[in-house]
Homo-oligomer: A and B are copies of this chain.
Amino acid sequence: MSEKDISQAVISRLPRYFRYLGDLKEKGVERISSQELSDIMKVTASQIRQDFNNFGGFGQQGYGYNVTYLYDEISKILGIDKQHSLVIIGAGHLGQAIAGYTNFTRRGFVFKGAFDCNPNLYGTKIRDVEVRPVDEMEEFVKKNGIEIAVLTIPKEQAVPMAHKLVGCGIKAIWNFAHVDLDVPNNIQVENVHLSDSLMKLSYNINRYENPNK
């Protein structure tokens, strides 16, 4: 079936299903009904069924979902049954934190290179990978056919860097810089704007304390 029209809202929920199913799998649960899944995930059973129907269902009426099958199917939909190579541009604390998540490796994201413009960091190792001068990035990305670039650099540098990356044939940018990137439509971009997230938290504190203002 075609998944072309699946909304990004549904897509955004898939990793959460995947996470809960992984936990259930680890606990040895073999089968789960949408109602049980609804109880632990705190979303309605009808939402779960609707979300899964986008991908053709996965379950049998009155029988529930096979946890391992569902986990594997969602993993295929998310494309994490394959490996993706990744470089980090900006080897500061945030870049190092991301490069250090062994969990990402387990999901098939293979950390291949780290680049920075700070000479003090050249040669520093993050896991098994040496930090290189950012000038070597283009050659490295082309030569190794890197798919994903993680941008953990200041916003002023992020926009020209994104253009360079596009020129190197990158497929996707995971952008932590506090700026919107202007790249062609064939480049997938996922933004993590931490400031925006913190402001949303601040809004909700304020709103809770001043409900009628």
Contacts and interface: CB of A to CB of B under 8 A. Distances in A.
Interface stretch (A92-100, A116-124, A135-143, A158-166): A92-100
| Chain B CB within 10 A, most for which of A108, A109, A204, A213 | A204
A129 interface: no
Contacts of A193: 15-16
A203 interface: yes
Interface residues of A, number: 61
Interface of A: 2-4, 8, 11-12, 14-16, 18-19, 42, 77-80, 82, 84, 92-94, 96-98, 100-101, 103-104, 107-109, 147-148, 171-172, 174, 178, 180, 186, 188, 190, 192-208, 211-213
Contacts of A213: 3
Contacts of A4: 211-212
A80 to B, nearest CB: 5
Q: How many copies does the complex hold?
A: 2
A100 to B, nearest CB: 6
Contact of A197 (B190, B196, B202, B212): B190
A77 B203 contact: yes
A199 B97 contact: no
A197 B3 CA distance: 19
A97 B79 CA distance: 29
